Amino acid sequence: MASAMTGMNPLLLVPEMLLFAGGLVALLGGSFLPRTRQWVTRVVALIVLAGAAATAVVIGTKGAQWAFDGTFAIDSATTVTRVVVALATLLVVGIAADEVADSPRESETYALLLFSATGACLLGGATDLMVLVVGFLLASIPIYGLIGMAGGARSAEAAMKAYLMGALFGILLLLGVTMLYGLSGTTGYIDLAQRLAAVSAGAMVAGVVAVAAGLLFEAGGVPGHFWIPDAVEGTSATAATFLTTVPKVGALVALYRLLEALPPDRAWALLVAVLAVTGMTVGNLAAFWQDDPRRLLGWSTVSQVGYLLVAVVVVRGSDLALPALLVYLAGYAVTNVAAFAVTAALPERRDLTSYRGLSSSHPWLAGALVVALLGLVGTPPTAVFVGKLTVASAAWDGGHAWLVIVLLVNTVLSLFYYLRWLAPAFRPSAGGAADPGPWSARTAVVSAVLTVALGVGGGVLWQLVDGPMLPM
Amino acid sequence: MLSLVVFLPLAAALGLVVLPRGGGTAASWVWLIVSAVDLVLIGWLWFDYEDPGRGALAHEEQAPWIPGVDSSYHIGLDGLSLPLVAMTAVIFLVCAIYSLRGVDRPRSHAALFLFLQTVSLGLFVSADLILFFVFFDLSIVGMYFVIAGWGHGQAARSALKFFLYTFLGSLALLAGFIGLYVAADPHTFDMLELTEQTPLAGSSVGGGLVLACILVGLAIKTPTVPFHTWLPAAHTDAPAVGSAVLAAVLLKMGTYGFVRIAMPMLPEAWRAWAWVLIVIGVVSVLYGALVALAQTDLKRMIAYTSVNHMGYVVLALGAAGLVAGDTTQARGIAVTGAVTQMVSHGLVTGALFLLAGVFHDRADTCDMDSYGGLAAPAPRLTVLFAVAAFASLGLPALSGFIAEFQIFTGSIAVAPVTALALLGIIITAALFLRALQRVFTGGTRGHSTAFADLRPEEVWAVAPLMVLSLLIGVLPGPLLAVIEPAADVVVSLVGR
């Protein structure tokens, strides 16, 4: 193993490089392009994202290997992270096409999306605490800008809140990294497990909890979730979709890797289980009486992180844990984008009751909304159903049958607020409605179709993600 | 071939949604023709059917689906599923005929029912727990939109109640399925393998808990007391065809799950909990009948008789779990009766709800006291309703009698105390006769004056169901010949 770990192999990081370079091109190119020609940078972003996904697949097919002296793993988890991040960002650009086209901040939006996506990919592959920090900063800092760029008082407040929370949790993360380094003398995951096994438990737990807290901020999970609903409500649909979808993918895979690298100890499982239960329950209960569809989705993502964490609980308990997590992440990403894309297509409807008559005026959007919301519930045959099913199976298999019950009860709870949104859409309309944004509407339908396709093709998806993970 | 039968309606539904807008009548006719073709195909499957025996399925098809958790697209037929598949196709066909008289938004209506048909057929042919669950859950989604979109009264509220309640049940069911999966070695969701393995044998606590999850899930859908509270509201506010499908097809998903999943896969736990099931069955029978007796609304009354009739099924299946002495034959008869009752109840209650829809359609109310002497202005309705009522109360020469006779023969032989439930038959007879008397006899009054008799579409929808019920009542042989071997297999599996 050791020999394979040495060497830089920079080519293995082509997807990240592509994304980052694409961000730079969008940023610089945008300042030379006239306002009405900024769409060029959108094309650049789309090409770069498609290219990143394609190169990730090519690199992934060559099997698991290390890059940069064992600080970055190229395995199934990294490949899935890269592909999901790139494709989800691609869909987000689809939403952005309506919202920021010809606006003064168009190319900057794409640049920030690409930078943050790079960070999410780095998070997913990081097997070294220093790389983890770089990924965290690169993924989170552009998001503050994205939130603030929507303009207006609410967006400024949301950006400030996100920034302050991000700064706090970022410092926690750095503190945790410092402590773990101080205890073990290494930042690489491979040595971490051995060396931490010999140190005092209290300090190690504090360090790990601090790092985990930082990652949970990035994922938008309890306890680092307070900024999510405000940010989602106050900013543009583009930023809202992105921040609830893409960073999660990287952060949760990073958390999984970190816990896998730690000395085996059931205490981690219990800690994550508590976070999972709190996340599911808090998110669902808070979403119950939300009237703004985006805020509702914001709380719903908090609960989704809870479900996803159930897979992280059994990181050592079940062979199903990693593929279940990856399947769920992929399914969640497309489903969440579909739901947000519907709200983006109808930006003036910021109240659940204003969705009245959607089924007769815009049947396709209503169909996408049904698939997206029932998909988030986990109704078969959508992708999240496969995710929830396998996550639950993994948890039971790993000896946490009680978590399965909590997950299922929470699923019933969640149904209520999703139906609160769906029900008006199928009632007779109160009056005329504006035309939906064409690109957002298309993105919504495409994502909804993907949601069903990934669910029905669950087996294919499973085989794609069920590769070996590099041993720690 | 079997996949074609299952997915033909779905393909037609997608066609209706995607293709450019045509007239509403065209959509109704597409629905009718597709259901008819589907029924013909099922007729051919029946003709071609040979009993596969234990641990096998006729017309079996299998393809990998989620190999990571050993879940596959696995379907097939046996004596338990074939009669229900045929009954399902008949019910959807008559609903299509009934809807020819015109509905609101006919295109989406037809598409939704075609979707429901695929889901229902798919559930009855599933041989994989996850596939079963997919169809189980989608049936809830489809029915939610039927009630919310085409219902009346407090439709949105009833639909929400229905969804939340049955969805809770479906998740309990899923928990049970995952339990079976985790306990199986090697892990699998395949029903045939799980039936062979009986994964939780020897673990009374684990087996009991998993059975409890599955029972709760299926009991809510069936529904048995005390999980029946969603049913009257859903039925009262659903459109007539929705009620017919809900009562005739969707309720069977619960009891079908008992014979298909709970009994063969958890025989030990089933035997241990048989008495609980018998008690639930008896209580459902008596309580359902008594509450039905107290109703003034026709639809609610029929809804509560469903609780009563499904109680017979639960009772018989519970009795089949009392493995002792030389009762194998009796228990086989009870299970045969239970499956026959599922078919019979589907046909009869489907007819009753379609007829109740006529009342709602003409006078906007199903309150029995606002009618009277309806026999004079509406003789066709009277005849069909009377036949359906007699079939429902178990008059000989109609299908209900065959079913209930077998259920009681089998159950009382195993557990004489189940004779208590015979009271249910008497109460049902009383309540149907009373309803007939209140609505159809005496002087014409209230909404009965100027009540238009059944239109041809309505006659053509209900009459076939009654003919089938009569056919089963007079000539039960062909149906029982299909059910009996499968019922004996179930009994032998429970006896392991």
Q: Using 50, 70 and 90 to split pLDDT, how confident is the model at A138?
A: very high
CB contact under 8 A, B163 and A463: no
Contacts of A385 in chain B (CB under 8 A): 134
Q: What is d(CA B318, CA B13) in angstroms, rounded to the nearest whole number?
A: 39
Q: What is d(CA A211, CA A132) in angstroms, rounded to the nearest whole number?
A: 10
Contact B431, B298 (CB under 8 A): no
> Would you call B106 exposed, middle or buried from its count of C-beta atoms within 10 A (0-12, 13-18, 19+)?
buried
Q: Does residue A267 belong to the interface with chain B, where contact is any CB pair within 8 Å?
A: no
Dmax (CA) of chain B:
70
Q: Does residue A310 belong to the interface with chain B, where contact is any CB pair within 8 Å?
A: no
What are A315-369's pLDDT values in tens digits?
A: 888 888 999 999 999 999 999 999 999 999 998 888 888 888 888 888 889 999 9
- Can you tell me the mean pLDDT for A61-85? 90
Q: Does residue A462 belong to the interface with chain B, where contact is any CB pair within 8 Å?
A: yes
Q: B450: which DSSP letter?
A: T
For tokens 């990143």, name the residue. A52
| Closest partner CB to B164 (pick from A390, A412, A462) | A412
CB contact under 8 A, A379 and B182: no
CB contact under 8 A, B182 and A397: yes
CB contact under 8 A, B171 and A459: no
Shortest Cα–Cα distance, A82 to chain B (Å): 22
State the count of interchain CB pairs (< 8 A) between A and B: 81
Contact B218, B263 (CB under 8 A): no
Q: What is d(CA B175, CA B210) in angstroms, rounded to the nearest whole number?
A: 8
Say how far residue B411 (Cα) sits from the centre of its chain: 21
User: Would you give the end-to-end CA distance of chain A in angstroms?
Assistant: 11
Phi, psi of A195 (to 5 degrees): -75, -35
Q: Does residue A453 belong to the interface with chain B, where contact is any CB pair within 8 Å?
A: no
Average pLDDT value over all residues in chain B: 92
Q: Does residue A323 belong to the interface with chain B, where contact is any CB pair within 8 Å?
A: yes
pTM, rounded to two decimals: 0.93
How many of the other CB atoms lie within 10 Å of CB of A291? 13
Taking CA–CA distances from A322, the nearest residue in chain B reads: B68
Non-local (6+) Cβ contacts of A195 within 8 A are A183, A184, A185, A186
- What distances in angstroms separate CA B366 from CA A357, B30, B98, B360, one per listed residue? 29, 31, 18, 6
Q: Does residue A419 belong to the interface with chain B, where contact is any CB pair within 8 Å?
A: yes
Q: Which tokens belong to A69? A: 């002296």
Taking CA–CA distances from A396, the nearest residue in chain B reads: B182
Residue B377 has pLDDT above 50, yes or no: yes
Q: Which tokens belong to A466? A: 């069920």
Mutate to test the interface with A, among B69, B123, B157, B170 (most CBs of A within 10 A): B69
Q: Using 50, 70 and 90 to split pLDDT, how confident is the model at B203?
A: confident
Q: Using 50, 70 and 90 to split pLDDT, how confident is the model at A432?
A: low
Could you tell me whether strands B58-66 and A72-74 are parallel, antiparallel, or unpaired per DSSP bridges? unpaired
CB contact under 8 A, B175 and A405: yes
Shortest Cα–Cα distance, A442 to chain B (Å): 15
- What distances in angstroms separate CA B459 from CA B165, B217, B247, B390, one per listed residue? 34, 36, 20, 18
Contact B359, B366 (CB under 8 A): yes
Q: What is d(CA B388, CA A209) in angstroms, rounded to the nearest whole number?
A: 68
CB contact under 8 A, B68 and A401: no
Q: B71 pairs with which residues across the strands?
A: B66
- Can you tell me the mean pLDDT for B10-18? 91
CB contact under 8 A, B134 and A385: yes
Non-local (6+) Cβ contacts of A143 within 8 A are A112, A116, A162, A166, A239, A242, A243, A247
Q: Using 50, 70 and 90 to split pLDDT, how confident is the model at A2?
A: very low
Say how far residue B369 (Cα) sits from the centre of its chain: 29
Residue from A433, A432, A424 nearest A356 by CA: A424
Contacts of B7 in chain A (CB under 8 A): none
Q: Is A356 helix (H, G, I), strand (E, B) or coil?
A: coil
| Closest partner CB to B137 (pick from A380, A404, A405) | A380
pLDDT confidence of residue B136? 95
Q: What is d(CA B229, CA B233) in angstroms, rounded to the nearest whole number?
A: 8
How many of the other CB atoms lie within 10 Å of CB of A351? 12
CB contact under 8 A, A393 and B138: no
Residue from B158, B345, B350, B118 nearest B238 by CA: B158
Contact A273, A313 (CB under 8 A): yes
Contacts of B171 in chain A (CB under 8 A): 408-409, 411-412
Residue B82 or B204, more confident: B82
Q: Does residue B73 belong to the interface with chain A, where contact is any CB pair within 8 Å?
A: no
Q: Does residue A65 belong to the interface with chain B, where contact is any CB pair within 8 Å?
A: no
Contact B238, B151 (CB under 8 A): yes
- Can you tell me the mean pLDDT for B177-186? 92
Q: Which tokens belong to A113? A: 């999306």
What are A145-192's pLDDT values in tens digits?
A: 999 998 888 999 999 999 999 999 999 999 999 999 999 988 999 888
Q: Using 50, 70 and 90 to split pLDDT, how confident is the model at B399?
A: very high
Contacts of A386 in chain B (CB under 8 A): 66
Phi, psi of B62 (to 5 degrees): -145, 135
Q: Does residue B14 belong to the interface with chain A, where contact is any CB pair within 8 Å?
A: no
Q: B61 pairs with which residues across the strands?
A: B75
Shortest Cα–Cα distance, A113 to chain B (Å): 33
Q: Does residue A330 belong to the interface with chain B, where contact is any CB pair within 8 Å?
A: no
Q: Does residue A270 belong to the interface with chain B, where contact is any CB pair within 8 Å?
A: no
Phi, psi of B76 (to 5 degrees): 180, 175
* DSSP string computed for A414-426: HHHHHHHHHHHHT
Q: Does residue B429 belong to the interface with chain A, where contact is any CB pair within 8 Å?
A: no
- Can you tell me the mean pLDDT for A391-420? 92
Phi, psi of B36 (to 5 degrees): -65, -45
Q: Which tokens belong to B169? A: 């049940």
Residue from B347, B373, B357 nearest B299 by CA: B357
Residue A1 has pLDDT above 50, yes or no: no
Mutate to test the interface with A, among B10, B72, B138, B174 (most CBs of A within 10 A): B174
Q: B326: which DSSP letter?
A: S
Contact A216, A222 (CB under 8 A): yes
Q: B262: which DSSP letter?
A: I
Q: At what angle do helices A401-425 and A383-397 cross, to 10 degrees?
A: 160
Percent of chain B with pLDDT over 70: 99
Q: Using 50, 70 and 90 to split pLDDT, how confident is the model at B488?
A: very high
Q: Using 50, 70 and 90 to split pLDDT, how confident is the model at B443?
A: confident
Residue A457 has pLDDT above 90, yes or no: no
Contact B244, B354 (CB under 8 A): yes
Percent of chain A with pLDDT over 90: 67
Phi, psi of B372 (to 5 degrees): 170, 140
Q: Does residue B220 belong to the interface with chain A, where contact is any CB pair within 8 Å?
A: no
Vertex A137 angle, CA A136 and A140, to 5°: 80
For tokens 């995607």, name the residue. B18
What are A207-223's pLDDT values in tens digits?
A: 999 999 999 999 999 89
Shortest Cα–Cα distance, A414 to chain B (Å): 10
Q: Does residue B416 belong to the interface with chain A, where contact is any CB pair within 8 Å?
A: no
Residue A3 has pLDDT above 50, yes or no: no
| Closest partner CB to B149 (pick from A393, A416, A426) | A426
Q: Does residue A427 belong to the interface with chain B, where contact is any CB pair within 8 Å?
A: yes
What are A253-302's pLDDT values in tens digits?
A: 999 999 988 887 768 889 999 999 999 999 999 999 899 999 999 999 99
Q: Does residue B137 belong to the interface with chain A, where contact is any CB pair within 8 Å?
A: yes
Q: What is the dihedral of CA B302, B308, B311, B315, to 10 degrees?
A: -150
- Can you tell me the mean pLDDT for B232-246? 93
Q: What is d(CA A118, CA A52) in angstroms, rounded to the nearest whole number?
A: 10
Q: Does residue A391 belong to the interface with chain B, where contact is any CB pair within 8 Å?
A: no
| Closest partner CB to B148 (pick from A409, A423, A458) | A423
Contact B281, B311 (CB under 8 A): yes
How many of the other CB atoms lie within 10 Å of CB of B93? 22
Vertex A363 angle, CA A358 and A364, to 5°: 120
- Can you tell me the mean pLDDT for B10-38? 87
Average pLDDT value over all residues in chain A: 90
Q: What is d(CA B117, CA B250) in angstroms, rounded to the nearest whole number?
A: 10
Rank A210-219, A418-427, B449-458 by mean pLDDT and report only the highest. A210-219
What are A40-51's pLDDT values in tens digits?
A: 999 999 999 999
Q: What is d(CA A149, CA A159) in angstroms, rounded to the nearest whole number?
A: 9
Q: What is d(CA A215, CA A258) in angstroms, rounded to the nearest whole number?
A: 10
| B 153-182 near A (Cβ less than 8 A) | 156, 159-160, 163-164, 167-168, 171-172, 174-175, 178-179, 181-182
Residue B8 or B68, more confident: B8
Q: Which tokens belong to B343? A: 């078919």
> Would you call B130 exposed, middle or buried from its count of C-beta atoms within 10 A (0-12, 13-18, 19+)?
buried
| Closest partner CB to B178 (pick from A379, A392, A426) | A392
Q: Which tokens belong to B310? A: 């499904």
Q: What is d(CA B241, CA B461) in angstroms, rounded to the nearest whole number?
A: 10
